[in-house]
Amino acid sequence: MASGMTYTMTETTALSTAEYYGKALCELGAEHPEVVALTADLGKSTKIGMFGEKFPDRFFNVGIAEQNMFGVAAGLAQNGLIPFASTFAIFASARSLDQVHTDICYQNVPVKIIATHAGTSFGQAGSTHHALIDMACMRSLPHMTVICPCDGAETYHAVKAAYSYPGPVYIRINRGFDQIVYPKLEECTFEVGKAKVMNEGTDITVIACGSCVYQAMQAAQMAAADAGLKVRVLNMHTIKPLDEEAVMSAIMDTRRIITVEDHTVMGGLGTAVAEVVAKSGKACVMRMLGHQDEFSTIGLHEDLMSLAKIDANGIAESIGNPKGANVAILGAVLAVAPVTTVESMMEAIRIELGEKKARFLEGNKKALLAGMEAAK
């Protein structure tokens, strides 16, 4: 297996992801006088303070009172303003869920929540500051749109799109710098509810969001180099409304899906995709990568992603060789209904692989025999 990817400052953008948010919000503020901003004493950490420096009369610091902040934001929205409210993702979702549920979503008012330090990106702060349940919480709320951008450029465009998108919007972004998916702002296009194909493939589909998109793209390259696999990578930046058409195409074209998220596997991206798979009634093998039913430990973001197997190495390991699974199933069928011999089947596989992929012949034989043994 090829070596994994690590974070280095040379691979990141000049601005942090939150600074791209601050830049977009300041531009919106200059264009639209109804845009206001609220913070719960985290203006510097979330970078919403950039707006306050330019528009101090439209910037409100409510103190360390996140629940109050969302109540105030709802009131401002009821009076014709477009509030952007920011705090850490775990505080926006867990601590303030009642206010978001009742004051914002029940009233269906256009409050835009930009939650930073999502997933395990604030790894050193420990489990109390990791946001592994926020997408599950927000996705379950009626009227709420849930977005998880992959880097700074996509965050910039997502914030711009949130302004004009009806109803409440929740955007989760990471602390600090994300690895570059889109080197320039103009290279990134963004539409709410429309996934982006980052890599074409027909063998298996990896559906990722947030910081896992970059990792999935690296894993696809590793799988191509190591096993000759064509891996489709989808950047599913909008968790709700989900791009069901893109998921259906993955089901029909590849029949194998892996979802990857820096979030619990319950209630987030993986669950949303699984719901589409279940509704489709189509045969599709699926695996969900993310944090299991447990709290994350303390550590650097990249180390915690590796521990959860949502980094490039972990994703590549899960990709494995999906075609081998097909051969194993073929072996099981052959054991139950021996319509041909193992030798004849291997000859057919040899012809199918051709000279360029002859190195995979032995692995296919092992898979065929393993399938036969399992059936017996």
Question: Is pLDDT above 60 for 13?
Answer: no
Task: With beta carbons less than 8 A apart as the criterion, state whether 50 and 26 touch.
Answer: yes
Average pLDDT on 59-66 reads 96
> What pLDDT sits at residue 204?
96
Name which of 97-106, 145-154, 178-187, 353-362 the model is least confident about. 353-362
Model pTM? 0.85
Question: Is pLDDT above 70 for 6?
Answer: no
> What pLDDT sits at residue 359?
72
CA distances from 62 to 18, 65, 107, 165 (A): 20, 6, 21, 26
pLDDT band for 322, please (50, 70, 90 cuts): low
Question: Is pLDDT above 80 for 54?
Answer: yes
pLDDT one-digit tens code per residue, 139-182: 999 999 999 999 999 999 999 999 999 999 999 999 988 889 99
pLDDT one-digit tens code per residue, 188-232: 999 999 999 999 999 999 999 999 999 999 999 999 988 889 999
> What pLDDT sits at residue 320?
81
CA distances from 331 to 319, 339, 352, 360, 376 (A): 21, 11, 16, 16, 10
> What pLDDT sits at residue 308?
96
Strand 145-147, strand 112-116: pairing = unpaired
pLDDT band for 364, please (50, 70, 90 cuts): confident
Name which of 118-132, 183-197, 218-232, 332-346 the model is least confident about. 332-346
Rounded CA separation 277/273 (Å): 6
Identify the structural domains of the chain with CATH numbers, from first to last. Answer: 9-184 (3.40.50.970), 196-320 (3.40.50.920), 323-375 (no CATH)
Question: Is pLDDT above 70 for 285?
Answer: yes
3-state DSSP assignment of residue 178: coil
